[in-house]
Every structure is written in structure tokens, then in C-alpha cells.
A and B are shown apart, each in its own frame.
Chain A
Amino acid sequence: MIGELFLSGIVVWIAGTVACLALWRKPAIARRVACGAALAGSLLDLAASFTAIFSAIPAEIGLPFGNPVFTWAIRLDPLSAYFNVTLAALAAAVSLYSFGYLREMEGRRNLGAFGFFFNLLLASLALVFTASNAFFFLVMWEVMALTAFCLISFEHEKEKTRNAGVLFFVMSHAGTGLLLIAFLLLASSSGSLDFSSFHLLASRMPPLEQGAVFLLFLFGFGVKAGMVPVHIWLPEAHPVSPSNVSALMSGIVIKTGIYGMARVFFDFYGQPPLWMGTLVLALGVASALIGVLYALMDHDLKRLLAWHSIENIGIILMGFGAALMFRSLGQVNLAALALIAALYHTFNHAMFKGLLFLGAGSVVQATHTRNMEKMGGLIRRMPVTALCFLVGAVAISGLPPLNGFVSEWLTYQALLAGFGTTQSLTRLMFPIAGSLLALTAALAAACFVKAFAIPFLALPRSTEAADAQESSLSMRAGMAVLAVGCVALGLGATWFVRVFDPITQQALGIRASSALVTAGGLALSPGTAHGGTISTAGIALIFLLAGAAFALPLSMRWRSRSVSGPVWDCGLPGLTADNEYTATAFSKPLRMIFSALYRPRREIQAEYDVSPHYPSAIRFESEIERTFEKRLYGPLRDRIMAAANRMKGIQAGSINIYLAYIFITLILLLLFGVRG
């Protein structure tokens, strides 16, 4: 039953793909068919996978064709189903939003092509999450990467877009290469490519091989997830794609890396050595901090959000790292807590980052710029978008009572409990990671003060912003769905943690939710004795009651005594948008404080007419250094180019020589095979 429902979702998406291909020349119909199919497929998938989480026996679907190496094996176990729920919930909202969002492109762009890739991306994502054969998984992984590449490069007339697409393409394939080696190593050990044969297999391998496989998977999946230091494609690729695609990319496509890690770490490995968890935790901390620090300096609204994806991936990895460490220390209960924190944050991030990218899409469509410094005052022109964006901003900053707070709270609890699990120096890692998580969260709050206030508040900084129009009904509906999701996942935390029971049962053999929920379902606790409690529902209830009892009536009364007046402008003739604080100015203190990382460079040129004290025009330029691109990838690219140049010598262009190469390779492989 679940299997059929899931397959019907896939079929609807594929049908949407084919239909869009047929409607290549009819953009108006193609738009409706593309979004309708995506929405219907998402709802079917949502129903199927939500049921699948709780079903006792995982639904397995095998198609009758294939060969011993490549089988069409689909398995909806709780972990797969959970990621599918995330996918379907986000995709449904994004599809709804796309009805209105794509209308503007009608006649200008090929919506048939867009619908084709959009539906294909959703289908391939669902299959990546459910494939249970390594070969099938890698094929779907590639289909996903290629369709994502096509969607990123959709506005390919701009050079920046093309470059970003190519960067994604190259890095994605380097990652796939690592995955391929890792899967082959596993397969050579198990003799099969089925995921079921890999279960706990990696832990039985010799230590060296075990470590190699771990690193290959970590970095192979890390590329897709946007983990530091293999993150550099992400802040380039996410902003240039259409915003509904950005929402999917940040919300769910990068989560395929997280899914892959979860599958490897908690299914293929049993009890991993301690260094693995330590490494993941350290990379998580680095990703979180680097992500948020660069986000603070970015004033391109969408690129800022892309940097925050790296930050949130870091927070998720911190949970994974802690879970791995607890597992190697034999603390299964704590491992479950950390795993729940990470997976909860995965879902939360899909909700609020999807919401923020959709909000940014509305803003960009209304103002025709991604540069925050040219926006302003949009809360008056676009009230619904502003409210939704605010919900997302509060959620991503980890502030109560919304969903980001809940998962960060769980992460803190896991890290705090970690201190007592070992006597070695390693235990200092937990509180240090916790304090850096606090720094990350506080910097994220600072960043989202900027990201909300500069575009939405105060006076418009350009005529486009002053004339902005509120988005269409379907776009607002799409954002509202995700905003409601953020609120519900925050307030309904005690209800939602039950979803993780089957997953922790599968991965760690315990069900944790009953220990996590206390006070009759009102409050959440870390599950340790006397651990602290939190009740987001209670906090929200008090806010609502106090607001209704005091804030509303008193504000009404005070309004009669209030007059509207001008803002203090230091005696100048009236406040203009030029007087406002800008995003650059807002982030200046942090640019100064962290100048060792940013290495900021600025240039001021003033032109004078008469007096040297009154410049007639000032040109200001400010730039920060992209440390990773310059110091890590720059030299690497130069080496690769140099090596490629040297290899030019063997490429003579004569077919005979190429045939000889093939022949020699074949002989060598045969010799290798005989020897092995």
C-alpha cells in the first residue's frame, strides 16, 4: 500500500516531466502542468512517506528488470521515509509558490524546460533517498546533480550564472568520484551492491580501510552538503538560480549529503572509532562559524541565505559528530539525543530556509535586485511577505518559541551531557563546541537583524523598492505554508519527537521519545535524570495570553494619546534614505573585529569642486577576501591546470595512438586482474 502510494507519487512527477516536454511551446499550460504535477506528486509522496515512518516493516519495491549489479531496488525504511517527508513537505510549498512565481517568466523563458527539470529533480531526489542499491543510488545521484545543474544554469545568458553552474558541476562530480570509490571498497568487501549487505559492514573492515571509507564518504557527501572546506560552490550556485529552485537546493538538495552521511554513519558503521565523531564535530563547528561569518559580510540577499545554509549544515554535523562520539563511547541514549537533534534541525532548516528563499524570491521579483542596499521599506508594500520572512528570520536565529530554537536546544543538551561521558581530554570538545554554537547562533541573530531590517524596514533606498508590489496569492500561500510549518515544529516539539522513534530504533536500537517528553506532553527534556526542561508551547501560550490581556488593549488606549512625527534628523532638512544605516555599516564592527579572517580592503575616492572640505562625489569600494578560494582552491586549480598542460603532450590527435592507449590500458588491467 505504502509502496504503491510512493510509486504513484514518482509516476506523477515523471508524468509531469514528460508532459512538460510535450508542452515545450505552450508556456502558460506548461507552467500549470509543471506546478500541478509537482504539487500532486509531493502530496502523494508526503502521505506515503509519513505512513512509512511508522510502518513496522519497511516497504520494499523492486522492479523486475535490471541485472545482478544494477537493481531497481527501493526501500522506504524510517530514515529514508523521514528525508522523504522533508522533501515532500518543502516541495509541496515550493510548487504552490511556483504557480505565481513562474508567471513572470512566461514568454521570456522556456517554462516547458523548467517544468521538465523541476519535476525530474523532485523524482530523482525521492529516489536518492530511497534507493537501496549502490549503483541505482549513484545513478539517481547523478540524475539529481545534472538536473540541479540545469536548473541552476537556467538563466544561462549571464556569465556569472554559467560559471556558478560549472563550479557546481565540477565539485559535484569530484564528490561523486569519492562516493564511487567508497561504494566499490564496500562492495568488494561484501560481494554485493545492496545497501542491506553493507549494514554494519564498515565496522568489520580493517582499521585503515575503515578510516579510508569513512573519509571518502564524509567528503563525498560533504561536497553536496556544503561542508567546510568543500563548500565553495554553494554560495555561488544558490543565489543565481531562480528562487524557487534556490529554496529546493538549500532546503533539500544539500540534505542529500546529510542523508548519505546518516545512512553511512548509522547504518553501515556499528561502533565507530572516536576520531571519526571528533572529526565530524570539528568540521561541523568550522562550517557553522565560517558560514555565519561570511553571511554577515554579504549584502546579496540570496547569497547571504546560501552562506547560512553552510552554517546550518554545520549545526547538523555537530549533532552527527556528537552522536558518533557517544556511540563510540557506548552511550546509546545520548547518541539517540544527538541524532534526534541533528535530524530535527535538518527538517527545521528545510522549512525556514525554504521560507526565507521564497521570501527573498518575492523581494527580488518585486525590486529586480538582490542587493539589500537598494531595498528598504518593503514591509509597507509587501506586508505578508515581510511577516513570513520575519517568522523565518526568528526561526533561523534559534529564538524561542520557533523550531530553530528547539533543535538548537537539543544540540546544546547533547553537547552538555557529553562532558561526563569520558575522562579523557576529548571531553573538553563538547563544551567548547557548545560555546561556539552559542557564538554562531548569536551571530546568526545579528545577521538576520540585518537581513530583515535593511530590506523591509525604514525608507526605500531605490525607486524600485518604493514601487514594489506584493506577490501573488499563490506565492503568499506557499510562504504561509512554510511559516506555519516553522511555528508548528516549534510549538509541537513534544509531539514531533515521536517521529524519531522508528529512526533511532533502526539506527541505535532504542526508542527515545518517551524519555524526551515530560510533564504530560507539555515539556521537552534531554532524557537524562534531572535534565532541564523546555516548553515552547508554554512560552508561546504566555506570550499570546499576555499579548491579548495587556499589549492589545493598552496599545489601543495609548494610540489615542500618540501623534505622528518626524524622526530626529540632527537638524538636517528632513530624513532621506541616504541617512539610513546600511547593511555595510551594520556589519562594520564585526568586519573590524574579525579582520584577521576577512582581510577587508577598502578604497575611498573623493572628488572636490571648490573646497577641500566639501567633496562633490565620493566613491566607496569595500571588499573582503574569500580565504578558502584564494588560499586553498586557487593553488589547487593552478596545479591541476599545470598538470593538464603537461599531459597535453600525449594527446597527439591521431586515432591510432588513442587505440594504442586503450590497448595498453586493457593489458595492464588484465595483468592486474590475473595478479589479484
Chain B
Amino acid sequence: MMARLIENVAQLLLLLALAPLVTGVIRTLKARLQTRRGPGILQPYSDLAKLFRKGMVIPETASWIFMAAPWVVFFSTVLAGLMIPMVAAEAPLGLFGGVLAVIYLLGLGRFFLALSGLDTGSSFGGLGSSREMTISALAEPAMMLAIFTVAIGAGSTGLTEIAGSAIGQNWRFLAPAQMFAFAALALVLIAETGRIPVDNPDTHLELTMIHEAMILEYSGPYLALVEWAASIKQLVLMTLLINCFWPVGLQPKWFGFGALVGIGWLLAKLLFLSCAIVVLETVNAKMRLFRVPELLAVAFTLGSLALVSTFLF
């Protein structure tokens, strides 16, 4: 019981601390690849700290939903983060839910964020909510197929079991089913975290923005909460992707020296995945909104191929 509590606290701190760093690293690497200097990898921390100290403007038209949504988003994302294996194969809060709970908790956050976008009456908010709900809905079947492929291998939707079954098979991701599922989930990750070519996290142009449009009316601490939650969500999905398919370095337990090794591996794998995202974002342009379904259809096809290939190999 006590040990479980320590694990939870440790992973909680890791989530909260690491998430802005990943965002910062991706931004800096992207800047360097585009021969800009970039803001530095610690900039997101400064942004958050500054936002938390500021006052805020609450729109006159907003109801209590606008006030509650940042908290629901933040708590549900963090809770989802405690249900995934980060350093150890054992997810600290694995008893409370597995991969389905992770997806649906993220869905709960999205639901409230979309409500808050419509709450202010601004047309930007509605635009963002509409697009966000559309894209996430279309991403869902591909995501579920990929997850089914992984879960079928482990015989469980519990992430502890999924990661546990992968431990010791560091090259398992070379199996065709795993590769297809990985590709499908990677495409979904891009859509869900709002990265190019689906959404551009740096834009404030009404024709292109999705996530940014939803949160346009937030300021100060609430904006900090939403931004922080978005980077935690990104970290959660990235970790889910790398630890389900590429479990190398996952420790059996959270304790002792092993935890440091595990954290080291996690950072290395996250850096690798960040590099891949950066390259993808740099060589691609943002898609038209109505081309995104095609991308997600590709993801769905890949997911189906993953299932069919569990049959063949």
C-alpha cells in the first residue's frame, strides 16, 4: 500500500516535471532544424510560471463550465498519466484502469474543453470545439484497432500486463502486426496531440487552428492549466506509444537504482520519438482540414492490417 503510494507520487512528479520539457525540446529541435535559434528548452517552464502569477480575464458570457473545464482537463490527464507504465512495467494506478480508461479519461478532458470553447459564445471557440471533436472521433477507431492488436497479444487491456508481456522481447516491434499497429498509433498520436500535419500548435490563424481556437479565451492560471495538461497529454501518449511497442529499459519495479536506469531509458526513447516528430513536422505542411480524414483512414487501414497480420504470422 505504502509502496504503491510512493510509486504514484514519484510518477506524478515525473509527469508534471517532464511534460513541459518535452514540449520545450520539440520546439527547440524544430527551430534548429529550420535554422532558427528557438526559445530554449526551458521556455515552457517560464511560460507556465509566468501565467500562474498573472491575473486573468473571465469572459462576461462564460458560465461555471468555463471555470471547471481547466480543472477537469488537468485532473483527467494526470490521472490517465498515472495509469501508464513510464519507468517501471507496473503502472502505479493500474488497478483503477487500463488503456481503455486512459483513452476515455482523455476523452473526458476533451469533452469539457470543447464545452468551454462553446461556452464563451465566441465563434472561434465553437470552431475549435467542432474541429477537435470531429478529428478525435475519426481517430478513435484506428486507435482502438491498434490497441486491440496490442491488447490481444497480452490478453488484457491492463497496461501493466501489456508492458509486462513485452518485457524481454525488445525486438518484438519488428513483427509485422506490431509494426502496423505502431504506425497506426503514431498517426493517431499526431492527430490527438494536435501536431502538423493535422493541427499546428504555433498558429493563431482562424483558418488553421484547432486546439488553440478552443482555448482562445483562457488567460492566466487557467490557461497555464490547459497548456500544462496539453503537454502532459502529449507526454502520456508518447510514453504509451514507446512503452507498449518498444519496452526496452522498462524496469520491473519503481524502486532503487533501477528507477534511475528506467528514467534514463525513458528520456532517451522520448528524445528519439521527439526527433521523429520534429522531422515529420518540418518536412510536412499542414493539411487542409478535410484531408485529415484521409490520413486517419490510412491509420484505420494500418490498424486493420495489424489485426489481419496477427492471423498470418
A533 and B94 in contact, given A441-B140, A445-B111, A539-B105 (Cβ under 8 angstroms): yes
A641 and B54 alpha carbons, distance in the complex (Å): 72
B152: A residues at CB distance < 8 A: 416, 419-420, 431
| Cβ-neighbour of B155 out of A530, A561, A585 (below 8 A) | A530
The reply to whether A532 and B161 contact each other, CB–CB distance below 8 Å, is yes
B220: A residues at CB distance < 8 A: 558, 561-562
Q: Could you tell me which residues of chain B, from 124 to 150, have a CB within 8 Å of some CB in chain A?
A: 124-127, 129-131, 133-134, 136-145, 148-149
The reply to whether B144 and A435 contact each other, CB–CB distance below 8 Å, is yes
Would you give the shortest CB distance from A427 to chain B, in whole angstroms? 8
Q: Which of A163-171, A361-369, A448-456 contacts B (4 or more CB under 8 A)?
A: A448-456
Would you give the shortest CB distance from B103 to chain A, in whole angstroms? 8
B114: A residues at CB distance < 8 A: 446, 449, 453
**B 41-59 to A, binary, CB cutoff 8 A, 1 in contact else 0:** 0000000000000111111
Nearest residue (CB) in B for A569 is: B122
Nearest residue (CB) in B for A593 is: B293
A568 and B122 in contact, given A534-B97, A581-B127 (Cβ under 8 angstroms): yes
A446 and B133 in contact, given A399-B108, A530-B155 (Cβ under 8 angstroms): yes
Interface size on A, residues (CB 8 A): 81
Decide if B156 is an interface residue (CB 8 Å cutoff).
yes
B65: A residues at CB distance < 8 A: 379, 457
A443 and B133 alpha carbons, distance in the complex (Å): 8
A352: B residues at CB distance < 8 A: none
Decide if A287 is an interface residue (CB 8 Å cutoff).
no
Decide if A413 is an interface residue (CB 8 Å cutoff).
yes
**B 151-187 to A, binary, CB cutoff 8 A, 1 in contact else 0:** 1101111110100000000000000000000000000
Would you give the shortest CB distance from B159 to chain A, in whole angstroms? 8
Decide if B98 is an interface residue (CB 8 Å cutoff).
yes
Would you give the shortest CB distance from B233 to chain A, in whole angstroms? 16
The reply to whether B100 and A457 contact each other, CB–CB distance below 8 Å, is no
**B 89-110 to A, binary, CB cutoff 8 A, 1 in contact else 0:** 0000111111111011101101
A562 and B75 in contact, given A531-B155, A568-B216 (Cβ under 8 angstroms): no
A437: B residues at CB distance < 8 A: 144
Would you give the shortest CB distance from A312 to chain B, in whole angstroms? 17
A409: B residues at CB distance < 8 A: 100-101, 104
A180 and B66 alpha carbons, distance in the complex (Å): 55
The reply to whether B61 and A458 contact each other, CB–CB distance below 8 Å, is yes
The reply to whether A565 and B216 contact each other, CB–CB distance below 8 Å, is no
Decide if A592 is an interface residue (CB 8 Å cutoff).
yes
A535 and B105 alpha carbons, distance in the complex (Å): 12
Would you give the shortest CB distance from B206 to chain A, in whole angstroms? 9
Decide if B67 is an interface residue (CB 8 Å cutoff).
yes
A434 and B155 in contact, given A399-B107, A562-B55, A580-B123 (Cβ under 8 angstroms): no
Would you give the shortest CB distance from B270 to chain A, in whole angstroms? 25
Decide if B115 is an interface residue (CB 8 Å cutoff).
yes
Would you give the shortest CB distance from B254 to chain A, in whole angstroms? 19
The reply to whether B130 and A567 contact each other, CB–CB distance below 8 Å, is no
The reply to whether A442 and B137 contact each other, CB–CB distance below 8 Å, is yes
Q: Which of A56-64, A239-247, A541-549 contacts B (4 or more CB under 8 A)?
A: A541-549
| Cβ-neighbour of A581 out of B58, B79, B125, B137 (below 8 A) | B125
Would you give the shortest CB distance from A288 to chain B, in whole angstroms? 12
B161: A residues at CB distance < 8 A: 530, 532
The reply to whether B98 and A533 contact each other, CB–CB distance below 8 Å, is yes
The reply to whether A457 and B118 contact each other, CB–CB distance below 8 Å, is yes
Nearest residue (CB) in B for A386 is: B63
Decide if A358 is an interface residue (CB 8 Å cutoff).
no
A399 and B95 in contact, given A533-B158, A565-B58, A568-B216 (Cβ under 8 angstroms): no
**A 384-407 to B, binary, CB cutoff 8 A, 1 in contact else 0:** 000000000010011110000100
Nearest residue (CB) in B for A419 is: B152
Would you give the shortest CB distance from A348 to chain B, in whole angstroms? 15
Would you give the shortest CB distance from A453 to chain B, in whole angstroms? 4
Decide if A70 is an interface residue (CB 8 Å cutoff).
no
A419 and B148 in contact, given A538-B96, A567-B217 (Cβ under 8 angstroms): yes
| Cβ-neighbour of B134 out of A431, A547, A590 (below 8 A) | A590
Decide if A626 is an interface residue (CB 8 Å cutoff).
no
A428: B residues at CB distance < 8 A: 307-308, 311
A589 and B118 in contact, given A399-B107, A547-B71 (Cβ under 8 angstroms): no
B: contact size bracket: 35 or more
A449 and B141 in contact, given A459-B121, A565-B57, A575-B61 (Cβ under 8 angstroms): no
B199: A residues at CB distance < 8 A: none
The reply to whether A453 and B104 contact each other, CB–CB distance below 8 Å, is no
A564 and B304 alpha carbons, distance in the complex (Å): 50
The reply to whether B122 and A567 contact each other, CB–CB distance below 8 Å, is yes
Question: Which of the listed residues B119, B133, B151 has the most CB atoms from chain A within 10 Å of its own CB?
Answer: B133
The reply to whether B107 and A442 contact each other, CB–CB distance below 8 Å, is yes
A575 and B144 alpha carbons, distance in the complex (Å): 41
A198 and B70 alpha carbons, distance in the complex (Å): 57
Decide if B258 is an interface residue (CB 8 Å cutoff).
no
B217: A residues at CB distance < 8 A: 567-568
Decide if A24 is an interface residue (CB 8 Å cutoff).
no
Decide if A551 is an interface residue (CB 8 Å cutoff).
yes
The reply to whether A567 and B129 contact each other, CB–CB distance below 8 Å, is no
Would you give the shortest CB distance from A272 to chain B, in whole angstroms? 25
A562 and B56 alpha carbons, distance in the complex (Å): 5
A598 and B140 alpha carbons, distance in the complex (Å): 21
Decide if B120 is an interface residue (CB 8 Å cutoff).
yes
| Cβ-neighbour of A445 out of B54, B131, B133, B156 (below 8 A) | B133
B59: A residues at CB distance < 8 A: 564-567
A546: B residues at CB distance < 8 A: 75
The reply to whether A435 and B221 contact each other, CB–CB distance below 8 Å, is no
A577: B residues at CB distance < 8 A: 121
Would you give the shortest CB distance from B46 to chain A, in whole angstroms? 19
Q: Could you tell me which residues of chain B, from 270 to 313, have a CB within 8 Å of some CB in chain A?
A: 289-290, 293, 300, 303-304, 307-308, 311
The reply to whether B157 and A412 contact each other, CB–CB distance below 8 Å, is yes
Decide if A156 is an interface residue (CB 8 Å cutoff).
no
Decide if A21 is an interface residue (CB 8 Å cutoff).
no
Decide if A579 is an interface residue (CB 8 Å cutoff).
yes
Decide if B202 is an interface residue (CB 8 Å cutoff).
no
The reply to whether A564 and B111 contact each other, CB–CB distance below 8 Å, is no
Would you give the shortest CB distance from A380 to chain B, in whole angstroms? 6
Decide if A329 is an interface residue (CB 8 Å cutoff).
no
Decide if A438 is an interface residue (CB 8 Å cutoff).
yes
A535: B residues at CB distance < 8 A: 95-97
A399: B residues at CB distance < 8 A: 104, 107-108, 111
Decide if A332 is an interface residue (CB 8 Å cutoff).
no
B311: A residues at CB distance < 8 A: 428
The reply to whether B155 and A529 contact each other, CB–CB distance below 8 Å, is yes
The reply to whether B141 and A435 contact each other, CB–CB distance below 8 Å, is yes
A196 and B121 alpha carbons, distance in the complex (Å): 60
A561 and B149 alpha carbons, distance in the complex (Å): 49
The reply to whether A592 and B290 contact each other, CB–CB distance below 8 Å, is yes
The reply to whether A586 and B148 contact each other, CB–CB distance below 8 Å, is no
Decide if A637 is an interface residue (CB 8 Å cutoff).
no
The reply to whether B130 and A585 contact each other, CB–CB distance below 8 Å, is yes
Q: Could you tell me which residues of chain A, from 369 to 384, have a CB within 8 Å of some CB in chain B?
A: 377, 379-380
Would you give the shortest CB distance from A241 to chain B, in whole angstroms? 29
B115: A residues at CB distance < 8 A: 449, 452-453, 457
Q: List 30 A-B contacts (CB under 8 A).
A: A397-B107, A413-B157, A419-B152, A431-B145, A435-B142, A438-B103, A439-B137, A441-B140, A442-B139, A449-B115, A453-B129, A458-B61, A532-B98, A546-B75, A551-B68, A551-B75, A555-B71, A558-B221, A561-B54, A563-B57, A564-B60, A566-B60, A567-B121, A567-B217, A581-B125, A581-B130, A589-B134, A590-B134, A593-B138, A593-B293
Of all A-B residue pairs in the complex, the 9 with the closest CB atoms, nearest first, are A581-B126, A532-B157, A532-B98, A458-B121, A446-B133, A532-B158, A453-B118, A442-B137, A438-B144
In the complex, besides A435-B303, A585-B126, 14 extra interface pairs with C-beta distance below 8 angstroms are: A416-B152, A431-B144, A435-B145, A442-B138, A442-B139, A442-B140, A522-B95, A531-B157, A542-B79, A551-B75, A558-B56, A558-B221, A565-B60, A579-B123
